[in-house]
Amino acid sequence: MSTDLGLPRFAPRGVGHLRGERSFPAAARDALADSQLRRNLGHATSTIRAKRAAVVAERADWEELRAAGEAIKAATMARLDEHLERLEAEVTRRGGAVHWARDAEEANAIVTRLVAATGSREVVKVKSMATREIGLNEALAAAGVDTQETDLAELIVQLGGDLPSHILVPAIHRNRAEIREIFLREMPGVDPALTDEPRRLAMAARSYLRERFLRAEVAISGANFGVAETGSLLVVESEGNGRMCLTLPRTLITVMGIEKVVPSWADLEVFLQLLPRSSTGERMNPYTSVWTGVTPGDGPAEVHLVLLDNGRTATLADDVGRAALHCIKCSACLNVCPVYERTGGHAYGSVYPGPIGAVLSPQLTGVEDNASLPFASSLCGACYEVCPVRIDIPSLLVRLRAQHVEARREASRVPSAEAVAMAAAAWTMADPRRFAAAEKASRLGRVFGRRSGQLTTLPPPLSAWTAGRDAPRPPAETFREWWARERG
């Protein structure tokens, strides 16, 4: 075993889907202009929000459950190395093989090698964020392996040559008319009389996928949880496609982020209550599949577990920021986020969109590679309120903003215009005389134009405000002047 005493590495550039090509404000501008997208997202998120609220309200002990989830995750992260080694030992003892991947490139190479060793040229996939994060489909395609997504929404995204825009509902940006059109155009052997009735669309996908399930010899999955004490892996899903992939093919390869380990089965009692209510708004998800090593004559004969770091250890090194690793990928924060609801997931440029993505993506890549994301929030706090493991997302966003400002300070001896303005404002406001003088100065503008009413244009950067909103005209007398005159 080699000893690497360097700092933990961030997720590498040039591979996977953690970085966007454009900054959030630029990408958001286009998304905001898409009326179909706005309608689809508004409808879908409000529906899921209402479902979640109803099933969460059923639990009198919801806040206790959240606190328990947070505590279990915090304790697990504090001794993550021990739990991972236990998981490795137990998986190995039960006939599975464990592989450690430092980053996306290593993970893709391991999986590609494992698939090649089977001699198969096609794999079926269970919906998985980790494999999306590392760009596994693209890596396999480059090696001549055809991957088939089997989750209905992932299938829609794959056939449409699209990218997922939501953690749980990857095709949330599509409506059924668009899905019908994609199926008719891209799905081999589809019934030309297909309608946009949801049941008909699901049946078309079902018959298309069924053939692939029965033919496939290799399946690739992620994992919602890995239980260290028995080496068991879990996938939680709604459609049964996961169960097919996990039981039919001869070889099963699972890519799991190292933060997904839980110490014991008792811990699942908490998470399996929190997750479905928070994600799909169901009391319980339809399918929970668990597998523990290899069972001869039952399920896959070859079981691999690839443990993925890809910036997670770097995130763990921040004793406050590591709370983002507690995320169980329920996506409740996306569904309540007023920013996500209007821009959709693609604007974030990362496979992890929404509030948690605005924290997690810069943490995995290093904040400077995703510098606009921590600012893609009005800090309204709706995300924190619904998070099943109580991740204080607004505080983590503010923390990342500070890290970005510090990084900019270190990178350049010439301060940015914003830094100059902030320093000037802090200097002014640290002294009431200077502040009062500044208030007076701002009123000089009153000699120009009308004396009352609203300002309709301001110079940059405040012109971004007046592009869509009027601004108040400074009053003739500030409060402190009034007080001094009346009471002083």
Partner 1 sequence: MKIALFVTCLSDALFPEVGKAVVRLLERLGHEVAFPAEQTCCGQMHVNTGYRREALGLVRHHVETFEPYDAIVAPSGSCVGSVRHQHADVARAGGDGALAARAEAVAARTYELSELLVDVLHVEDVGAYYPHRVTYHPTCHSLRMLHVGDRPLRLLRNVRGMTLLELPGADQCCGFGGTFAVKNADTSTAMLADKMSHVLSTGAEAVSAGDSSCLMHIGGGLSRLRTGTRTVHLAEILASVE
Binding site for partner 1 (CB under 8 A): 24-25, 28-29, 32, 38, 338-339, 342-343, 374-382, 384-385, 398, 401-406, 418-419, 422-423, 425-426, 429-432, 435, 439, 442, 454, 456, 461-462, 464-465, 467-472, 474-475, 477-480, 482-484, 487-488
**161 within 8 A of 134, measured Cβ to Cβ:** no
Of 286 and 475, CB closest to partner 1: 475
Element of type H or E holding 415: none
Q: Which two tokens stand for residue 284?
A: 């319980």
SS3 content of the chain, % helix, strand, coil (to 5): 55, 10, 35
Q: Considering the complex, what minimum distance in angstroms separates the CB of residue 6 from partner 1?
A: 26
Of 187 and 436, CB closest to partner 1: 436
Q: Considering the complex, what minimum distance in angstroms separates the CB of residue 430 from partner 1?
A: 4
Of 34 and 181, CB closest to partner 1: 34
Distance CA 112, CA 109 (A): 5
Q: Considering the complex, what minimum distance in angstroms separates the CB of residue 148 from partner 1?
A: 36
Of 141 and 482, CB closest to partner 1: 482
SS3 26: helix
Q: Considering the complex, what minimum distance in angstroms separates the CB of residue 172 from partner 1?
A: 17
- CB environment 338-364: b (16+ within 10 A), e (fewer): ebbbbbbbbbbbbbbbbbbbbbbbbbb
- 232-237 and 287-292 beta bridge pairing: antiparallel
Q: How many Cβ atoms from other residues are within 10 Å of residue 92's Cβ?
A: 14
SS3 123: strand
Of 73 and 399, CB closest to partner 1: 399
Of 29 and 210, CB closest to partner 1: 29
Compute, in degrees rounded to 10, the torsion defined by CA atoms 38, 40, 43, 48: -110
Q: Considering the complex, what minimum distance in angstroms separates the CB of residue 171 from partner 1?
A: 22
Of 227 and 339, CB closest to partner 1: 339
Q: Considering the complex, what minimum distance in angstroms separates the CB of residue 461 from partner 1?
A: 6
Q: Considering the complex, what minimum distance in angstroms separates the CB of residue 143 from partner 1?
A: 39
Radius of gyration of the chain, Cα coordinates, nearest whole angstrom: 26
